[in-house]
């Protein structure tokens, strides 16, 4: 195993996206574009090439701070599961809305989450508000057309009602066709995905996560200096359970590569605060005390879609006495992005949520490309770093029971 003070020559990276229906090719192109920009800004070199294998991925040759490295990056794909969960018509989407709103409100999770960070909760309420507004407009259209038909007598009323219903349905279909601009349907199914199972993973996702674990276990038996798992957004809580299972199964060799875990823009409390998230809460408590892994959690208050600077273990109320992880730090968008760059990203909430994977024009301690392609392990890069003084580490979860 690489010592914390050692350098990395060969690295294997596994990236778990969040709830994203878009094929993984976008992540390669994002890495290519933003990596080139960061290299120009910071004065190092990165070059990408295709990677053969069962997963979607790419290879990176880098020369950073005088160290040449080879990294192989794989996207652990679950976009097909996301796509299937989003294959719902308008009526089913409104049922998802009712079920999700009821789950978070009836359990009190919504109000406890609001006390942590308002941004992600507002983001969760956004699709509900937009979809209800769309439904209201459709109902008003039905009423207006019906009323207009009523001016022509009884038969006019019934004809107007029929035309109104057709018009209202057409308006709702038009709203849905425009969701690529407003993301209401997308976000509704995102939050509804966890709410449907009350915080537990659906069986199809558990099966896929077991496959991901096997991929990591295989890499840990190979000739790498570091195996790095990255979980972005809702991919963070998938990574937590995958690593916990990996360690419990004894699949981390004592003399193997350094095992590192990076969570970016995590939304763990959106799941761990639900009543049936017992497995996730158990895995949070377990992983937070393990010696086999170094876990760094990076968020930023400027990202309104994440639970910025919230220690996911402590706020979930399951921190053990010997908790070691995660090390919670801030990407500090207000300092690492120039005023000009901040202005271009203003109100682009989804783009800000992906900033962790992008270039910073005023780079500081956090650099995604140095982490994934540089010459140091995650531990050696951050082991002396102090946690953010603004981190939130007060237990706020009503549900603390854990799976056995």
Write out pLDDT tens, residues 203-240.
999 999 999 999 999 999 999 999 999 999 999 999 99
Residue after which a domain boundary falls, among 194, 213, 228: 194
pLDDT at 291: 96
- Token pair, residue 355, equals 């900033």
What letter would DSSP give residue 280?
H
In a domain, 348, yes or no: yes
Rounded-to-integer distance, Cα 201 and Cα 263, Å: 19
Domain shared by 53 and 88, yes or no: no
Q: Would you list the DSSP string of 29-80?
A: HHHHHHHHHHHHHHT-EEEEEE--SSSEEEEEEEEETTEEEEEEEEE---HH
Domain shared by 71 and 93, yes or no: no
On the question of pLDDT at 1 being above 50, the answer is: no
Split at pLDDT 50, 70, 90, the class of 54 is low
State the CB neighbour count (10 A cutoff) for residue 202: 14
pLDDT at 133: 97
Helix boundaries (H) for 249-320 = 269-272, 278-287, 312-315
Domain shared by 320 and 368, yes or no: yes
- Token pair, residue 245, equals 């299972």
> pLDDT averaged over the chain?
93
Domain shared by 66 and 86, yes or no: no
pLDDT at 7: 87
- Number of independent structural domains in the chain: 2
On the question of pLDDT at 156 being above 90, the answer is: no
Residues 382-396: what's their mean pLDDT? 94
On the question of pLDDT at 174 being above 50, the answer is: yes
In a domain, 226, yes or no: yes
In a domain, 99, yes or no: yes
Rounded-to-integer distance, Cα 322 and Cα 347, Å: 40
Domain shared by 68 and 89, yes or no: no
Rounded-to-integer distance, Cα 272 and Cα 279, Å: 9
Domain shared by 150 and 264, yes or no: no
Query: Which residue carries 């009350």 as its tokens?
Result: 198
pLDDT at 3: 44
In a domain, 399, yes or no: no
Domain shared by 28 and 112, yes or no: no
Split at pLDDT 50, 70, 90, the class of 53 is low
pLDDT at 30: 96
User: What is the span of the domain harbouring residue 134?
Assistant: 82-194
Rounded-to-integer distance, Cα 259 and Cα 282, Å: 20
Rounded-to-integer distance, Cα 244 and Cα 350, Å: 29
To the nearest whole percent, how much of the chain has pLDDT over 90?
Answer: 84
Of 86, 96, 93, 125, the closest CA to residue 109 belongs to 125
Rounded-to-integer distance, Cα 25 and Cα 43, Å: 26
Rounded-to-integer distance, Cα 41 and Cα 32, Å: 14
State the CB neighbour count (10 A cutoff) for residue 136: 10
Domain shared by 208 and 172, yes or no: no
In a domain, 280, yes or no: yes
State the CB neighbour count (10 A cutoff) for residue 222: 11
Domain shared by 141 and 174, yes or no: yes
- CB burial readout 31-64, b (16+ within 10 A) else e: beebbbebbeebebebebeeeeeebbbbebebbb
Residue after which a domain boundary falls, among 145, 178, 194: 194
Domain shared by 111 and 42, yes or no: no
Domain shared by 149 and 224, yes or no: no
Residues constituting the chain? 404
Rounded-to-integer distance, Cα 14 and Cα 232, Å: 11
Domain shared by 221 and 363, yes or no: yes
In a domain, 396, yes or no: no
In a domain, 156, yes or no: yes
The CATH number of the domain holding residue 316 is 3.40.50
pLDDT at 2: 41
Residue after which a domain boundary falls, among 194, 221, 244: 194
In a domain, 20, yes or no: yes
Question: Are residues 205 and 282 in contact, defined by beta-carbon separation less than 8 angstroms?
Answer: no
Write out pLDDT tens, residues 180-196.
888 899 899 999 998 88
């Amino acid at each position: 195993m690489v010592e914390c003070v050692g350098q990395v020559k060969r690295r294997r990276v596994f990236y778990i996206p969040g709830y994203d229906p878009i094929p993984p090719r976008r992540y390669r192109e994002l890495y290519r574009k933003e990596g080139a920009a960061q290299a120009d800004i910071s004065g190092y070199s990165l070059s990408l090439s295709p990677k053969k294998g069962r997963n979607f991925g790419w290879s990176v040759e880098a020369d950073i701070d005088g160290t040449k490295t080879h990294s192989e990056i794989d996207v652990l794909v679950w976009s097909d599961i996301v796509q299937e969960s989003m294959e719902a018509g308008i009526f089913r989407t409104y049922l998802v809305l009712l079920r999700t709103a009821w789950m978070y409100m009836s359990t009190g999770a919504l109000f406890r989450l609001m006390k942590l960070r308002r941004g992600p909760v507002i983001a969760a309420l956004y699709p509900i508000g937009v979809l209800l507004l769309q439904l209201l407009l459709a109902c008003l259209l039905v009423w207006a057309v019906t009323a207009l038909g009523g001016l022509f007598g009884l038969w006019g009323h019934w004809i107007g009602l029929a035309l109104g219903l057709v018009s209202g349905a057409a308006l709702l279909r038009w709203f849905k066709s425009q969701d690529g601009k407003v993301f209401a349907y997308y976000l509704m199914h995102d939050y509804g995905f966890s709410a449907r199972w009350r915080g537990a993973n659906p069986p199809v996702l558990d099966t896929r996560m077991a496959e991901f674990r096997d991929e990591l276990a295989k890499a840990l038996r190979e000739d790498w200096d570091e195996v790095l798992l990255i979980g972005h957004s809702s991919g963070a809580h998938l990574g937590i359970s995958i690593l916990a299972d990996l360690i419990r199964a004894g699949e981390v060799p004592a003399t193997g590569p350094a095992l590192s875990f990076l969570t970016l823009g995590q939304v763990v409390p959106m799941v761990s605060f639900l009543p049936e998230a017992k497995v996730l809460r158990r895995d949070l408590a377990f992983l937070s005390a393990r010696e086999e892994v170094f876990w760094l959690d990076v968020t930023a208050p400027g990202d309104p879609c994440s639970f910025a600077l919230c220690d996911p273990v402590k706020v979930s109320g399951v921190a053990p006495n010997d908790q070691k992880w995660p090390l919670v730090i801030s990407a500090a968008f207000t300092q690492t992005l120039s005023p000009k760059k901040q202005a271009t990203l203003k109100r682009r909430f989804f783009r800000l949520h992906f900033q962790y994977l992008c270039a910073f024009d005023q780079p500081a301690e956090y650099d995604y490309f140095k982490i994934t392609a540089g010459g140091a392990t995650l531990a050696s890069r951050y082991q002396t770093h102090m946690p953010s003084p603004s981190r939130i580490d007060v237990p706020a979860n009503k549900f603390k029971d854990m799976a056995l």
